[in-house]
Each structure stands twice: as C-alpha cells, then as structure tokens.
Structure 1
Amino acid sequence: MHNQLIKDYNFCEKVIKKHSKSFYFAFNKLPKEKARAVFAIYTFCRYADDSVDNFNNSEEKQSKIDKIRKELDYFSKGEIVDSPLWRALADVFERYDMDLYPFWEQLEGQQMDINFQQPHTLQELENYCSYVAGSVGRMLIPIIASQSIRDLKKEANDLGIAMQLTNILRDVGEDFKENNRIYLPLQEMSLVCYTHVDISDGKRNKEFIMLWEKLANRAETLYENFLNQLDYFDKDSQVPIRLSAQVYRGILDAIRGNDYNCFEYRNYVPLPTMKQWLNQATSI
C-alpha cells in the first residue's frame, strides 16, 4: 500500500476515533485491512450525516447532499473525487465485493431528515432507520461476512435498525432542542397520551417510560435476533461485531440506570465496562 493511501486511511481512522469512540473501540479489533475498510465506510456515512446536521438552512443542506450524490455518481462511473475519503473508498471497492446500492440508500435516509416529518407509526420509523443505519450494516457485509454461505443482509439491516432506535432513544432531548425533530412515532405517543408539550418540558413520567420501553424492547429483540446469527459471520469479525452490538445495547441499560434521563444527559457505556465485555467476548 503506497504512502498516500495509508494517509487516506489514517484520515478515515481519525474521523471515526473523533465521532464514535464506541464504534472505534469495537471495530479497531478487526484485522487491519478490514478495520481500514470499516473506517472508510464510517467516514462516508459521517460525511453524509454532517451534510444534514451541520447546517441550519435547508437550502444549504440540500446543496450539500446533492454534492455528495454527484460525487457518488462520479464514483460509480470510476471517476474518483480527489479526497482522502473517496480514494480510500475506491481501494475498499477494489479489495471487496462491494455493493453501491446501500450507499445510495444512506443518502436517501439523509434526504428524509432534510424533509423531516415525524413518523406516524413504528413501521414508518423502522423504515427510516433502515435507510440511515440498516444501509450501513449492508455496506459492511462484504467485509465482515466475506466467507459466509448465507445472505446476511437482513441480519445486518436489523442490527442497523436496532442501533438507530437506540440512538433515537438516547437523543430524545437533543433531537428536539437542537433540530426540532421528534422521532418517537405519533401513533405510539397517542396510545400512551404523551404529547409534544411533554417532550418540550422534558417530562419523564410513566407515560414516557411506557413509550420509551416499547421502542427499547423492539430494539432489544432485534439485537437478540442478530446475535443468534453471529456464527454465520467471518470468524475474525465475530468479536468486534458482538462488541459493537453489546455496547449499543448497553446504552439502553445506561438510560434505565439514569432514570430515563435522555433529555439533559447523553448516556453512554463507560470504557471500563467496554473493556470487560471485550475480555468476555474474546473468551467465548
């Protein structure tokens, strides 16, 4: 691997290290080549996500996502934009049997945030989660399940949905205050008589806990279903995958332990706990 490409991958590694310590902690345990590929894919997703979240003006957001679409279109034709991300990603596509479709779906998911509407049903929410996070799982399949005799796209998609539901349950207050977004389904809120005003007030009453737990239980079911299929993934990838699922699932318990405070506090799994889980995963 030549010096420029090493620098490009190092750039991607710095991005994931900065923006997601838990993902980095898990996927850094992959063999070097696979870890680099995951870092490049994460950087693409971060690039897409930042294009929506880092701008207040919807015209700017649209302009940024259109720019990435154009760059991805160039990429699909073998015309590589001269940047660390695209050069690293081109190398990933040379090394693995990659599918471009989930990358387009990721951008479609970001488009949903630009044209944001609160989901009416849990199914609508899961559909959104499939675009913004299930797509990431499907991007990773050629890397972490390269030897598999089974099609694991559904399992990877389900893990992405579970992780995105976890993000939503962690960031209820932040999403509302910073982006004026409510991802909790309208139908589910109505069922327990929990209102937009309640979210604005940061109410953690029994109605909120019922609503929160319904979504959390759904995420936990998806985590469990995914982990039951773990043996079908590449042997050298199973510990990092297990760890990433466990860490994200652990965020739900962290929120419970903090009296469901996801309005004023960003809940996370502490590093000593992650290290303990890593030791357990490597001894299985």
Structure 2
Amino acid sequence: MLTKQSPQLKADYDFCEKVIKKHSKSFYYTFKQLPEPKANAVFAIYAFCRFADNTVDQEGSLSSKVEKLSQLKFELELFEKGQELPSPLWRALRDVFNRYDMDIQPFYDQLKGQGMDLQFKSPENLVGLEQYSYYVAGTVGLMLIPIIASENHLNLKEVAVDLGIAMQITNILRDVFEDVQKYQRVYLPVDLMIEQHYTDEHVQTCTVNQSFINIWEYLATIAEDKYDLFEKSLYQFDMDSKRQVLSAARVYRAILNVVRKNGYQCFGKNNKVSTAVIGEIIRTTQMDVAN
C-alpha cells in the first residue's frame, strides 16, 4: 500500500495539484493554505470533479461524451471494489479514502449530475434547479466535508450540500448568457421566466431588462441565504480549515456583487473577483476566524 511519504504518491498528488491550479486559481490558492494532507485530499477530489466536468463540456460528439462519462463511472466502480486503475487520480483518491471517513455515493451522484447536462433540460422550477445543483455541486460539499470537518462531518451534511448549491447558483448567475451561447443551456427556472415574462428570445439575445434582473436577484437571494447559514455553522469545522473554507465561500459570494456592478452582463470572463478584493476577503476572514 502506498503511503503519503512514497515518491509515487507524491507524484500523484502533484498531478492533482496541477489540475486545480490550472482550472481554478482562486480555489487553489485558498485550499493550498490547508495542512498538506488536507490540501492534497482536496486536490484529488477536485481532479475527479474536473475530469467528470470535462467529459461533458469539452468538444466532441454526444456519443463520445456519453462514452467517456460511462468509462469514468466504470473506473469509479472498480475503485469502489478496491480494483482501481493504476493512474495518478485513482491512487491519490485511494489514499484519501484510507485517511478520511469518505462516502462513495457523492462521487456517483456527481457523475449523474454531469449526465444531466448531456441530456439537458431547463429546470421547471426552483426545486429542479436545486436538485440539479445538488448533483453537480452539493456532492462536492459532501466529498470535502469529512476532510475539513473531520469530527463533525456527519452533522454537517446538509450545510455542505447547501454551500455547494449556493456556489452552483452563483456559477449559473455569473454565466447565464455564456451558457446559452456556448452550450445552449438555460438554467433559469422555466416558471420564473414565465412569471416575469422573460422569453427564450430574451435569453438568446442576452437581454438585460427588469424581468431578467428580478429573476437574477431572486436566485441570488437564495444563494446568499445559504452562504449566511453556512457561516453560522462555521464553528463546527476543523480549526485548521475554518479560514480556508470561509475564504473560499466569501470569494465565491463576491461574484454576485461583481455581476451587479457589471450591470448583470452575465458572461463569466467579465465577472471575475479582482485580486485586490480577494486579498481583502482573505484579510478580513483571518480576523473574523481569529476572533
């Protein structure tokens, strides 16, 4: 069995670290501040989720994407049986499962969420949006909670799911028009669009009007309420992880205000939180946790 000191396992974790560093610098620099064993575990989980996401969002035919997602599920099934493939991702995840009280189900649910994007249908209502958000993001919260709340993780499952849902709704609100143009996906609930007389033509032409703002702010308020509930539960997280997870949540939450300042122009590249703002968030978070 590989140990954390083995050169092979170090190389495996280095591989996973490069994945998160390439695709999410804000998450990388936040979670890099965790104790090394916890940081490595987060990097391995992120790499799994990134590989799952890439099977859906990269270029290629629908059939090839379905095949790649099925292959990843097959590899996860092997992993569950203790027969994982000899690759950096699976060796790193085996070490994570050996060291923490991990649950395999959220990994399967994550793959189900990616499959929902392959057979995409706009959510009918808020319940549908939150269900989708659970599968693609709430699952990530469940994957991470045994690492960053090792003593209380069983009591924090709902908090972890809600934080993931808040982050996914934030993603959706940041990228509304980009998702339409790039993937032909409209994540805004159908019933809200009907209620606000915001049509498919409006969203296809990236129209920002009062109806759109009403929908956007309604969903933003739901996300912000979930961020608030998470902060109230922070005391139950491991002392060596509180600052990092709170910083990550606050940086993500800050995206909502960036979109507002940009006049609700929901194209992801335009809505990045500035380095200066991230720095200020980290500074105030350190003070809040210390107090």
TM > 0.5 between the two?
yes
Q: By how many angstroms is 1:194 displaced?
A: 0.5
Q: Residue 254 of structure 2 contacts residue 273 of structure 2 at CA under 8 Å; is this kept in 1?
A: yes
Partner of 1:266: 270
Say if 2:152 is the partner of 1:139.
Answer: no
- One-letter amino acid of the structure 2 residue matched with residue 230 of structure 1: L
Separation (CA, whole Å) in 1 of partners of 2:58 and 2:166: 24
RMSD: 1.1
Q: Extract structure 1 runs of 4+ deviating beyond 4 A.
A: none
Separation (CA, whole Å) in 2 of partners of 1:277 and 1:183: 29
- Give the counterpart of 1:101 among 97, 102, 105: 105
Q: By how many angstroms is 1:25 displaced?
A: 2.1
SS in 2 for 1:283: helix
Separation (CA, whole Å) in 1 of partners of 2:287 and 2:239: 14
How many residue pairs get aligned? The number is 284
Partner of 1:222: 226
Q: Residue 171 of structure 1 contacts residue 266 of structure 1 at CA under 8 Å; is this kept in 2?
A: no
Q: By how many angstroms is 1:55 displaced?
A: 3.1
Q: By how many angstroms is 1:264 displaced?
A: 7.7
Separation (CA, whole Å) in 1 of partners of 2:61 and 2:276: 40
- Give the counterpart of 1:239 among 243, 247, 268: 243
Change over 3 Å in CA distance of 1:111–1:263 after alignment to 2:
same
Q: By how many angstroms is 1:263 displaced?
A: 4.0
- One-letter amino acid of the structure 1 residue matched with residue 113 of structure 2: G
- Give the counterpart of 1:280 among 272, 281, 284: 284
5 Å-filtered alignment, 1:91-240, equals 91-148=95-152, 151-240=155-244
Q: By how many angstroms is 1:265 displaced?
A: 4.6
- Give the counterpart of 1:72 among 67, 72, 76: 76
Q: Residue 34 of structure 1 contacts residue 143 of structure 1 at CA under 8 Å; is this kept in 2?
A: yes
- Give the counterpart of 2:21 among 17, 36, 48: 17
Partner of 1:2: 6
Q: Residue 231 of structure 2 contacts residue 246 of structure 2 at CA under 8 Å; is this kept in 1?
A: yes
Separation (CA, whole Å) in 2 of partners of 1:10 and 1:152: 29
Separation (CA, whole Å) in 1 of partners of 2:66 and 2:133: 20
Partner of 2:59: 55
Over the matched positions of the two proteins, sequence identity in percent amounts to: 50
The one-character-per-residue Cα deviations of 1:246-276 (angstroms, maximum 9, x if unpaired) are: 0010000000011111148530111121112
User: TM-score, normalising length from structure 1?
Assistant: 0.98
Separation (CA, whole Å) in 1 of partners of 2:201 and 2:87: 45
Q: Residue 125 of structure 1 contacts residue 183 of structure 1 at CA under 8 Å; is this kept in 2?
A: yes
Separation (CA, whole Å) in 1 of partners of 2:228 and 2:141: 16
Structure 2 gaps, min length 5: none
Structure 1 gaps, min length 5: none
The one-character-per-residue Cα deviations of 1:111-163 (angstroms, maximum 9, x if unpaired) are: 11111111110110000000110000000111011022761000000000000
SS in 2 for 1:79: coil
Q: Residue 44 of structure 2 contacts residue 93 of structure 2 at CA under 8 Å; is this kept in 1?
A: yes
